[in-house]
Amino acid sequence: MSHLSAVLLPSSVGHHYYTTFYVLAFLLNQALLLWLGHRRGYPLRSWLLLTTGVTLAFIVGTKLIAAPGTDWSALWQHGQWPAGTARSVLGGAIGGALAGLALRRWLGYSWHALDVFCLPMAAAYAVQCVGCLLTGCCFGHVADWGVQYAPDTLPFLVQVQRGLIPATAAHSLPVVPTQALSGLLVLAVGGLLWALRHRPWAGGSWRLLQVALLLLGRFLIEFWRDPAGEQVGAELTSVAGLTLKQVQWALLPLLLLFGWGWWRRSRPRATLPAEVVPANYSVRNLAGVAVMLALTAVLGPAAFTLPEVLVVKAGLTVVLLAEVAALLQRSAAAPRRLGLPLGLASAVLLFTNQAPAPTDTAAVRRYLTLGVGGVRGAYDQDVVDSDGCGGTTSRTAYYHRYAAVGGTAEYGVRNPSRNFQAIGLGVWRGYERIGIQQLDPNGPFVTVGEDGYTRRTIWDVNPYAEFRTREGGNWETGVRLGVHVGQISYTARALRREEERGLARPIQFLPEVMVWTGVRRSLYAQFDMGTGPLALGNYVTRVGLGSGLGARDGGHLLAGLALSSHYPGPVMGFLSGQIHVGRSGLLLEPYAATDFGRHFQLQGQLRYRIPLPARR
């Protein structure tokens, strides 16, 4: 049977239509948002952070809403991200809207900023619909008109399963192109808003109207969409004799809510408040970057594809570099304000009664520094065993998750020539959980469905000594040497040795080395191995560049590469620093490293420096 009104689409097998148009849509959306923000005079750094945050929440929302109940349970109880690839733009719209509302207020933008998202979103979603149409997801019911798909596509396979066509058919039966209808819908709504752009609108009313119209259109399009092409709420449910898809029942209250919100904000008013361009709050920008980087590190590749990571990472990197450049242009005291958004104001009040630093430059200054902190991380190992003749006999995946807490005590002396010497001791204790799974030797590296797991206690006693030359001078050098003693980590090799010998893990001895040189307040280079708690769980070697950002109080920012054992590669990017909170003697030392995959390491210490009586 031929269908004159049907169009046969090219085969998507072996092509990446969805990913290609997905990336194009994100890039177009971000480019248009930046252009419109520039035209409105928005500060680049905070506006880029807001748009990147909305994008990040959109990506997370698309997958969370499509996750089944079992995945939600695993996420809640074990922190295991949903393994499926199902996504829905409905969840992305909800996540993006919530993020936009929160970030708008946090960064000081008015309701008008939400309206800026309308037209870029319309253009980007229309581009994405082209990818969906070519791929075959979100397809419609069988009809006498529409589009036909090649073998091995989702519509073709569904029709074969239902017995509508034989497996040897040349193409599928025509289906309603609901993807194209969605694209036309969003373009029509965007065109309507463009036509009404010169009318006076209260801030936020454009966005509310757009969402309400799109929800109404999505509700109607669902009547033509095949349940097999629906990622969320495809089951039919009857209420008071009316049968609709579950997603349609969910859309109705949302439609009423946004419609009511638009009606409330669009009512005639004597005067409409003018839009006020916000100031640039560097502290808030940096806090937002830190939270988003931490979120991407914790969620890992199960939540983000590589293109998504690149889109988010690019936006956050630009914000971070712009803020660092801005700080370098300010006074030396500026970096101290970075501690404020971290919620340490109350701690400052508690510790401001410390003794003042001696003013006698000939005196020997002594300090006792006490600290508490913790480390947490994750990495995978892919171990292949051979029969000795070049053949693979088995392949095992090890999924490591570890955490430890502890504290440090350090006694330091700074002499009149500004050399600094210190001895210290760190004690850490925690656990390591290792999931184990047998894999297909020729298959992909699977990260779900482990066969079992084992749990080990990790502990570490870490004595060390540190020396710095001419601290605060034009050129400085620092060296730290120590040793880690304990049961520090459990790699796959260590576990196998335990099994083979039937003995408990012997005590480990690992070195600690740190060397840095340069002008601390401007630029310095650093190399270290197993610094403090970074030796636990997964021993880390780092190389990086740092700067005090012009400050003379010892605070600094360090970034570079971290090397450790993990699959698929040993390299992570890291960012760490030391922040002096006012003049309280309180020091915050955060650290984060990730390969933007399943491998990450987070560490933080809160230390308090107590000045002891000076000696001559």
- Tens digits of per-residue pLDDT, 456-467? 899 999 999 999
- Both 256 and 334 in one domain: the answer is no
- Parallel, antiparallel, or unpaired for β 6-8 and 142-148? parallel
What does each C-alpha distance from 569 to 61, 307, 598 come to in angstroms? 29, 18, 11
Q: Are 410 and 542 part of one and the same domain? A: yes
Q: List pLDDT tens digits, range 246-292.
A: 888 888 888 888 888 888 887 766 666 777 788 777 778 777 777 77
Co-location of 202 and 347 in the same domain: no
456: left (phi over 0), alpha (psi -120 to 50) or beta: beta
Residue 267 sits in the same domain as residue 346: no
Q: Which domain holds residue 489?
A: 330-615
- Are residue 362 and residue 468 in the same domain, yes or no? yes
| Predicted confidence band of residue 336 (pLDDT cuts 50, 70, 90) | very low
In this structure, what DSSP letter does residue 16 have?
-
Q: Is the pLDDT of residue 342 over 60?
A: no
pLDDT of residue 358: 44
pLDDT of 360 strictly over 60: no
Cα–Cα distance measured from residue 471 to residue 113, given in angstroms and rounded to the nearest whole number: 47
CA distance 237 to 456: 48
CA dist 193 and 187 (Å) reads: 10
DSSP state of 342: G
Give the DSSP per-residue string, 233-291.
Answer: --SEEEETTEEEEHHHHHHHHHHHHHHHHHHHHTS--S--PPP-PPP--HHHHHHHHHH
pLDDT per position as a tens digit, 32-89:
998 998 888 898 888 888 888 888 888 888 777 766 555 555 555 545 556 556 667 7
Of 448 and 526, the one with more pLDDT: 526
> In this predicted model, what pLDDT tens digit does every residue of 564-575 receive, in sequence order?
988 888 899 999
CB 183 within 8 A of CB 130: yes
Per-residue confidence (pLDDT) for residue 507, from 0 to 100: 85
Is the per-residue pLDDT at 346 higher than 70? no
Q: What is the mean pLDDT of the chain?
A: 80
Whether residues 379 and 493 fall in one domain: yes
Residue 314 lies in a domain: no
Nearest to 585 by CA among 383, 350, 364: 350
- Residues 469 and 389 grouped into a single domain: yes
State how far the Cα of 117 lies from the Cα of 585, in Å rounded to an integer: 44
Sheet holding 142-148, edge to edge: 6-8, 142-148, 175-175
Q: Inform me whether the pLDDT recorded for 139 exceeds 80.
A: yes
- Span 476-485, pLDDT tens digits: 899 999 999 9
Q: Which of 245, 280, 315 is the last residue of a domain?
A: 280
pLDDT at 332 over 50: no
pLDDT tens digits for range 281-321: 777 877 777 777 667 666 655 566 666 766 676 677 677 66
The pTM assigned to this predicted structure is 0.53
- What pLDDT score was predicted for residue 584? 59
For residue 418, pLDDT over 90 is answered with no
- Checking if the pLDDT of 604 tops 50, the result is yes
CB atoms within 10 A of CB 277: 14
| Model pLDDT, residue 72 | 58
Beta-sheet pairing, 364-386 with 242-245 = unpaired
Is 173 domain-assigned?
Answer: yes
298 found inside a domain? no
Q: Tally the domains of the chain.
A: 2
Task: Give pLDDT, residue 459.
Answer: 93
Q: Is residue 300 part of a domain?
A: no
